[in-house]
Structure 1
């Protein structure tokens, strides 16, 4: 563990190898990548870090935006001397990855966009805004149990109480005074990254589960439609946190994609 400018991060894998950055989702922290890092760190320089207001990183400004979180990554890469990297983002992290690709196209070697939103229906938008207001009024604990239902299939939750406790603990560790401001970015920041102009023009892999109803197949396809040549993978029988419930379903295709476009596996 190290820190730069209030951002706490881990850097693993061989020095000089192609860089891969992993960006976690709302309410989580860099530990959510524990199922993927070993797969990648044998051949890539893998950077994981805590978003502002999450984990061990510093609090964000009082009114953070998606650009705030893109800038956090830019500063971190500058300080680490990483001119270019593949950027992989989960959920909110996938939004940050797209924002970063718009802000710094020359610095992105490839994009992995996992379970991340596109523009929502009015009903879905109203539902997520209501969750933001609930979190603001009652704290992260008010939304975490419903989140676990959205994130994991019923059999997984029943069979893996320790995993549920772990993920629950990550969410509950968030500062109630900060969490709603980041949640609002997830709810309202999508418009910044829909139909980017100029379009994103890097290799991209977009993955979601067919039971991830908040970030479903239609959203994955809409994201991919805006990135020339983007690949789409829909995981059958999985919800939002496939990366924890069924790690190989994410690890294998993502590693193969990175090997094709970064060359480490060639």
Structure 2
């Protein structure tokens, strides 16, 4: 389905169940949630493609993180959904936090997965360099290094199918559009760090101990700023734990949502 703003989406699950929105990361599509949605079958699940991703229309000019939050608000309006829980992965975790700041009355809960906080100068320089690479040569310039950051050595050696699928998702991005979205990931973090007023929705913050770009220290910082937030650090996994080891991610997300969405 595609809404009047050009956003591609899928809405499944019981009509009367609490709504859970799944927000994917940079360079991916709503298909990345294929491993989680079966474990959330009791909820009304909304997945969609961010601006400039998958089947959704490209942006006009340089989009902002607030534009991505507004995209979700417009989609919820189109579907007559007043309130929802948000599960955001990576860039999607930034979108979820921006949405919770801009539309607190519409946010019932947050699960922030593998998402960034303020970076060190060295880390910021590294991501800016990747944006510059993408601007020059498109997603092909960064995808192999991304696979190294996203998956463990064991997964890259044994799961060629998963590597091929992930590579296919990233390489499908428009080379002219991809860097504009990458720039949001690089430069939008300050918007959602130390939010004022603080986010008050029940929140789960999750990352993995080998996800160095979205590190345990970052997740601790995010959780510290949100009252009563829960923190989960997965062992022996990297950025794409949701695809490499789905049960490790699905279990805490499902248990959290089941508890808070009564």
Range class of TM-score, shorter chain? over 0.9
Q: Distance in 1 between matches of 2:209 and 2:94?
A: 19
- SS of 2:193's partner is coil
Aligned to 2:196: 197
Q: Distance in 2 between matches of 1:202 and 1:74?
A: 17
TM-score normalised according to structure 2 size? 0.99
Q: Deviations over 1:78-121 (max 9, x none)?
A: 11011001001000000000000000001000000000000000
Aligned to 1:182: 181
Q: Deviations over 1:183-209 (max 9, x none)?
A: 000000001111111000010000000
- After superposing on structure 2, the runs of 4+ consecutive aligned residues of structure 1 that deviate more than 6 Å are none
Aligned to 1:34: 34
Structure 1, unmatched stretches of 5+, are none
Q: Distance in 2 between matches of 1:2 and 1:188?
A: 29
The CA deviation at 1:3 is: 3.7
- Closer, same or farther: CA 187–253 of 1 in aligned 2, 3 Å: same
User: Is 1:162 the equivalent of 2:180?
Assistant: no
The CA deviation at 1:2 is: 4.2
Q: Is the 8 A contact 2:24 2:90 kept in 1?
A: yes
Q: Is the 8 A contact 2:6 2:57 kept in 1?
A: yes
Aligned to 1:14: 14
Aligned-pair RMSD on alpha carbons? 0.7
Q: Distance in 2 between matches of 1:91 and 1:160?
A: 22
Aligned to 1:223: 222
Q: Distance in 2 between matches of 1:218 and 1:68?
A: 28
User: Is 1:209 the equivalent of 2:226?
Assistant: no
Q: Distance in 2 between matches of 1:241 and 1:153?
A: 9
Structure 1 residues 1-266: aligned runs within 5 Å:
1-40=1-40, 42-263=41-262
Q: Distance in 2 between matches of 1:239 and 1:92?
A: 15
TM-score normalised according to structure 1 size? 0.97
- SS of 1:224's partner is helix
Q: Is the 8 A contact 2:27 2:170 kept in 1?
A: yes
The CA deviation at 1:238 is: 0.4
How many aligned positions are there? Answer: 262
Q: Deviations over 1:113-166 (max 9, x none)?
A: 000000000000000000000000011000000000000001011111011000
The CA deviation at 1:5 is: 1.8
Q: Is the 8 A contact 2:110 2:203 kept in 1?
A: yes
Structure 2, unmatched stretches of 5+, are none
- SS of 1:51's partner is coil
The CA deviation at 1:61 is: 2.0
The CA deviation at 1:63 is: 1.0
Q: Distance in 2 between matches of 1:117 and 1:176?
A: 24
Q: Distance in 1 between matches of 2:115 and 2:60?
A: 24
